[in-house]
Structure 1
Amino acid sequence: MTWPTITINQLNLLQGETDEVERRFLFIGNASKNKGQIISVNAQTDFNGVLGNDDSALKKGVLAALENAGQNWFASVAILNDGQDWTDAVIEAQKVGSFEAVVYAENINTKAEINKAISLRKNLIAKHGRWVRFILGVEGLQANETWAKYESRLATLQNGIAEYAITLVPMIWGNEPFVNAGRSCNRSVTIADALARVKTGAVSNLGRDTLPVDSAGVELPLATLQTLNANRYSIPMWYPDYDGVYWADDKTLDVEGGDYQSAETVRVIDKVARRIRLLAIAKIADASFNSSANSIAVHQQYFSKPMREMSITTQINGIEFPGEVKKPRDGDIVITWKTQKIVDIYVVVRTRDIPMQITISLMLDASLDQ
């Protein structure tokens, strides 16, 4: 005999929003106050109270990041203990939150420090499922160096290293890694927009008001910046007869021919990885996800959700404001069941076109008017 009952289940279809990791950066360095602390900061923070009254490189840099980030900037600062390794501070900060990027700008000048960041990225992915990229400040010009010697030294520093989640930023003016980070957090554009975008405006607070000079008294030439960029450094630049200082291609240490030679592609693929991982976790041992044709079709839509959301484009008054990626097409999600318990999912992420080199050809029409 069946007793009359009514059971109501409240199902969670996971249709809500996820926390934004993007644009939250972790800044690491030395300061006179709060050593060993990890402190959340925003535009309203009293930085003298947090980092001390002295003009430490960290304090000056974080203020430069704030200035270039625009509205609603939010970050964390890890102040190192005396003798503390900066990578330990990154590990400790994982208890506080998840970060898109780590900025460490204490004059890196060895391959060993770069390789530390490479190992740290791999460990964070393995242990926490967190995709973090690193912006490392490289030592600026030494007192006895010419621009030619500096170019040679930095060419050697990056040579032979391959990791697309590492961005090296020479500290020629002083605040460049922080300016890079601040501009990356600017909400007037998407994470898929290149740092070189001129419409975002000129950068500010690079660290000095005049062009740096070398030991021979020669002002920094554009050719040196072009050489550094060719050697996979992310650097500011300017255009003759166009006011302001801007940014060149935001290079990474990806290999020649790699898909992630510019930071904006890393930011996009990391964002997709974070979001699609959460979707996949929810499907563990869910029998509705199976090898039937209907289930595969449903889950192709399910796993394309991050790309669909990131592809939303707005158009107003004839001007288009594109999304972070292109809209996914049929066939961009392929689901292959290898056994009854093991399934592989392949995802195509279509990045946007970004004009970095523009060639204009002019022609005269000298024919007689008819």
Structure 2
Amino acid sequence: MALGKVSVNNLNLGQGAVSEIERYFLFIGPAAANVGALVPLDTQSDLDAALGAADSALKTQVAAARLNGGDRWAALAAPIDADDRWQDALEQAQQQGHSVEAVVIATPVSAGAELAALHDAMIALGNTYGRRCFAMAASTGIDPDSQTWAQYLAEQQAITLNVSAPRVLVVPQLHGNDLGVLAGRLANAAVSIADSPMRVATGPLLGLGETPQDADGVPLPAAVRAALDAARFSVSQTYPDYPGVFWGDANLLDAPGSDFQVVEHLRIVDKAARRVRVLLIQRVADRRLNSTPNSMAATTSALMAPLRAMARSVAFAGQVYPGEIQPPQDGDIVLVWQSKTRVEAYLTLRPHNCPKDLTANIALDLSTDTE
């Protein structure tokens, strides 16, 4: 004999949205207020109250980032004393559960070992917390009282020489707030994370400091910018007879021939990895993921969903605004069972082509028209 029983269970199919951390940056540097605290900021924040009324390295970069970051800009600031370690502030933010896309260090570096330490810290975040971040570092600007451009260039080139740090980019403080300007440009929600900060249609840089001069009174030459870019620094640029100051590539300190020499490539891969990671966590010890054909097809489709979302384009007013990547194709996701309890997924992302070197060839037609 038996008694009737009825139960109704809620099934979680893992179809909800994932919190987006892209464009949310952590700024670390000396400031005059809230030292040792983590201060959330947005476009309406009073920076004098949050970071102190006095000028500081952190406040200067945050102000520039906010100006260039658009109406949805938000960030996290970690004010420290001049002799404090940025590593401690970074660890504090991680322990308190703050996930960010990038870490911006306002105190300038002076040697390649400091850039290597930044990269090590970014890798450690992934190893310890499963968080993918890249770091933005500053180097000093020119000393107009004692340095020529040639001397300054030689000093800067020595910093990045032989440094391999694929999750670090370094910005010379030529105008005093270049680091913050780039950080804001990368965090602007009006453009995609797949867009290069070089994109002219985004508009000119806002609030960039005064054009620097060397000890001989020579304004910043375009050749110095080009040499710094060749040394893998990230610098501003201008176009003759075209008003405004723009940016070049945001160069990562990766090895020649690598896939991640510019930040937009790293950002789209990291975004996809964050979303796929959540889907994999939801499938731990779930027997719905198994080696049967139906399960493999369903899992492949589920893992492809973030890629399809990233690839979504919009057609408006006769223009097509492409997604962050090209639409995924059959075979872009492969599942491999290494054992009965271990499965590995391989995913392929295809960024769109993007013109950064454009040339027009003009020919003259001198032929004679004949009837």
- Return the TM-score normalized by structure 1: 0.97
Counterpart of 1:351 in structure 2 is 351
The alpha carbon displacement at 1:16 in A equals 1.0
CA distance in 2, matches of 1:317, 1:57: 43
Counterpart of 2:361 in structure 1 is 361
Counterpart of 1:36 in structure 2 is 36
The alpha carbon displacement at 1:228 in A equals 0.6
Counterpart of 1:302 in structure 2 is 302
Tell me if structure 2 keeps the 8 A contact 1:135–1:167: yes
Counterpart secondary structure, 1:117: helix
CA distance in 2, matches of 1:314, 1:249: 25
Q: Does 1:137 align with 2:138?
A: yes
Tell me if structure 2 keeps the 8 A contact 1:168–1:233: yes
Of 145-154 and 314-323, more deviation after overlay is shown by 145-154
The alpha carbon displacement at 1:71 in A equals 0.9
Counterpart of 1:317 in structure 2 is 317
Counterpart secondary structure, 1:28: strand
CA distance in 1, matches of 2:212, 2:81: 32
The alpha carbon displacement at 1:200 in A equals 0.4
The alpha carbon displacement at 1:86 in A equals 0.5
Which portions of structure 1, spanning 4 or more consecutive aligned residues, are displaced by more than 4 angstroms?
none
Counterpart of 2:154 in structure 1 is 152
Partner deviation per Cα, 1:174-227 (whole Å, 9 max, x = no partner): 10110000001111111000100000000011222xx21111211110011011
The residue type paired with residue 226 of structure 1 is A
Structure 1's unaligned 5+ residue stretches are none
Counterpart secondary structure, 2:106: strand
1:86-235 aligned within 5 A: 86-94=86-94, 95-142=96-143, 143-208=145-210, 211-235=211-235
Partner deviation per Cα, 1:302-332 (whole Å, 9 max, x = no partner): 1111111111100012101111111100000
The alpha carbon displacement at 1:3 in A equals 2.5
Tell me if structure 2 keeps the 8 A contact 1:300–1:335: yes
Tell me if structure 2 keeps the 8 A contact 1:105–1:138: no
The alpha carbon displacement at 1:46 in A equals 1.1
Question: Given the superposition, is the C-alpha separation of residues 340 and 96 from structure 1 closer, same or farther in structure 2, using an over 3 Å criterion?
Answer: closer
Structure 2's unaligned 5+ residue stretches are none
Partner deviation per Cα, 1:51-104 (whole Å, 9 max, x = no partner): 111121221221111100111111011001352200110111111410000111
The residue type paired with residue 351 of structure 2 is T
The alpha carbon displacement at 1:299 in A equals 0.9
Counterpart secondary structure, 1:108: coil
Counterpart of 1:268 in structure 2 is 268
CA distance in 1, matches of 2:254, 2:209: 28
Counterpart of 2:68 in structure 1 is 68
Q: Does 1:20 align with 2:34?
A: no
The alpha carbon displacement at 1:362 in A equals 1.1
CA distance in 2, matches of 1:284, 1:163: 33
CA distance in 2, matches of 1:137, 1:75: 18
Counterpart secondary structure, 1:76: strand
Give the superposed CA RMSD.
1.1
CA distance in 1, matches of 2:369, 2:283: 71
Tell me if structure 2 keeps the 8 A contact 1:87–1:116: no
Tell me if structure 1 keeps the 8 A contact 2:116–2:165: no
Partner deviation per Cα, 1:103-126 (whole Å, 9 max, x = no partner): 112121112221221110111001
Tell me if structure 2 keeps the 8 A contact 1:169–1:233: yes
Counterpart of 1:293 in structure 2 is 293
- Return the TM-score normalized by structure 2: 0.97
Tell me if structure 2 keeps the 8 A contact 1:311–1:327: yes
CA distance in 2, matches of 1:212, 1:307: 44
Tell me if structure 1 keeps the 8 A contact 2:237–2:248: yes
